[in-house]
Structures are given as structure tokens and as C-alpha cells.
Homo-oligomer: A and B are copies of this chain.
Amino acid sequence: MIVEMRTGAAREEIDAVVEKAKSLDLGVQLNLGTDKVVVALLGSNTGQIPTDMFAVLPGVESVTRIMKPYKLASREFSPGNTVVDCGGVKIGGERIVVMAGPCAVENETQLMQAAAAVKKAGASVLRGGAFKPRTSPFSFQGLQKKGLELLARARQQFNMPVVTEVVNPQEVNLVASFADMLQIGSRNMQNFALLTDAGRSRRPVVLKRGFSCTITEWLTAADYLLAEGSNQVVLCERGIRTFEDSVRFSLDISAVPVIKKNSHLPIIVDPSHAAGHYSLVPAIARAAVAAGADGLLIEVHPNPKEALVDGLQSLSLSDFARLMEELRTIARSVGRSL
């Protein structure tokens, strides 16, 4: 941590910074510049000390953190690539994993049709929402427990692991008893109560990026999951909020190489929520694979026109099959399979 003193800061002000640092067991080195005094604070846990503790002292101009605030999710903590096991499917290895299915589970026919088709086209995990976090209380909230039961039936019938969202700490155990992997949605990325309970569930977790959270905040949120003792966490980039209005969210393609550089966790991409329109999904999905993503999470619906939720961003079964063909070629061109 670097503490920059104001021009002309008094000797006692500098001393107070040094003392505070020592009281926290930090090492201290003073840099007496021509214009300014700069105090470097050294220690292995400065990433976890709030900068405010120094910024608030008299005579301090600014405090800059050099250590990242996340720890367990960092590549420095675990240099190799973590592989996550979702019901036997490995995420983070050579093979790119496609998770596909309807945004919301609506009924048995819809789910089974979708599951059969995505399996046939090459998807290896079935996705489907039972508990839906909706922006309006007057919108369809999901089939809830009945949705979970349908997902479990589809898993058995098609021999595919299942991932589904959990939105309430009180429902973590219920969801974990049906699903192979839990999903934490974008609006819950900083719902720390939910993260803690999901981390304790012993299920692997897909942690979607908060649509306005930095990558640093995302990895720090992952620390909540990892702090419970498991390393089975998959990150999912799903678009960030920007000023651009031709898409629902702007997919942050740079997040893929940035995560690969700073973290050991696998990263997948959800092109559906970012695009908000089925016609844009294939280009974004191809880009994600080329950029190095470890997987994709794609919304597919047997009849998008009749979907209860997010029909516009869902691929039809035939569009999905066609996209899988394209992705297979691109995966090969970056030395992976799909």
C-alpha cells in the first residue's frame, strides 16, 4: 500500500502514518521526494486492510493499494488451472463445455424437448431456471420446486448433469439436493449471505459476474465461495451495463484473458443475456471460444415465440445445432475440442 502525503505535510503527520502502520504489523519505508513524501507499507496481507485507515489521517493526499483485495481466487494463490467437476463433466480442461437449455423451466414437454435437442447437438450440461429472479413482482417467478423436479427427471432421462439458479439462502439446500451445480445470478453476485451458504453446500457453483461489477470485485466475491473450503467455482461473464443501447448488456470479451491472467478458476461466457437478441448470439459465442473461454452458457428453447421468459434471446433448436457446428471448427482452430 502506498501512502502519498500532501505537499508540505508536517513531520508529525508522517509519523502518525508510520505509527499506524506499525500497529498493524506492516513494514514501512519512507520515500522523501523533492515535492512529496511517499510512505510504502509492506506486508503480505495489505490487500485485506482498508485503504481508509490511512486515507483518513491528517496530511494524507491519497492511498493506493498494490496488493489485490482478493486472495483465494488469485493465480498467485493457486498457480495451476483449477478444473471443476460438474456431475462428471470437467470444466476448465481441454474440452470446451456447452451448457444449454431454456431460460425458465415451463413444463415437462418444453424441458424434455430442449434437453433432447441440446444433448444431440453436443451440449454436455443442461441449464434451466426453476427460481427466477424477476425485476417486477408481477412477472412469472418460475415453477420453483416443481421446476427442480422436472430438471432432475431430465437429468436422468438424458444422462446430463444439471445447473440451475438459487436466489435465496433458505433454498440452497433444496436446490443442492436436485442440481449438480448451483448458479448464482448477476444480481446476486454481491449477495454475501447467499454466497456463504452456496459455498457451504459442497456443490460446484457458477458465479455470474454482477453486471456492474469490476473483475476485481468479481474475484473478491468468489473468495466468499472459496473461503468455505471448496475450489469448485466457475466464473461466468454475461455482459456489463454500459451506455450502448443496441444490446441488453455489452459482453466484456476482455474479461476472458484478464481472468486467465489473474485467476486459476475456469471462465465461461453467456452470450444470450449479453446480446438480448438471438441474432447476435452466434457471433458472440464464436468470439468467446476464440478468446479462450472454457465454456458457454446458452439459452435454447423449442419454441422461442411461446417462451414465458426471455424468448427474444433464446436460440431455436435448429439454430443451436447450427451454432454448435460453427463452434466445433473454431474450438479446433484454437487447439481445443467441443
Contact = CB atoms under 8 A, between A and B. Distances in A.
Interface stretch (A90-98, A119-127, A305-313): A305-313
Interface string A279-295: 11011101111111000
A232 interface: no
A192 B246 contact: no
B40 A34 contact: no
Contact of A253 (B34, B251, B313): B251
A300 to B, nearest CB: 14
Interface in A142-184: 167-170
Interface residues of A, number: 110
B214 A246 contact: yes
A140 B180 CA distance: 32
Contacts of A240: 242-244, 250
A142 to B, nearest CB: 11
A266 to B, nearest CB: 15
A313 B326 CA distance: 31
Identical chains bound together, number: 4
Contact of A280 (B56, B223, B258, B283): B258
A46 to B, nearest CB: 9
Contact of A309 (B50, B138, B251, B305): B50
A307 to B, nearest CB: 7
A113 interface: no
Top 8 A-B residue pairs of the complex, sorted by shortest distance between their CB atoms: A212-B212, A290-B290, A33-B42, A287-B287, A168-B193, A257-B283, A333-B333, A52-B312
